[in-house]
Structure 1
Amino acid sequence: MSFDRHLAEIAREFPDWTIWRSDAGRWWATRHRLLTEEEREAGSAMTIDADDSEGLRERLLEQQELLPPADPET
Structure 2
Amino acid sequence: MHMASGKGDLFELFIRFLPFRFMPWWLQLTVIAAIVAIVVAAWTIKRTRKIAARRAARTKAEATAEG
Q: Same fold (TM over 0.5)?
A: no
Which of the pair has the greater relative contact order for Cα pairs under 8 Å at 6+ separation? 1
Q: Per residue, is there more helix in 1 or in 2?
A: 2
Normalization by structure 1: what TM-score?
0.30
Normalization by structure 2: what TM-score?
0.32
Q: Per residue, is there more strand in 1 or in 2?
A: 1
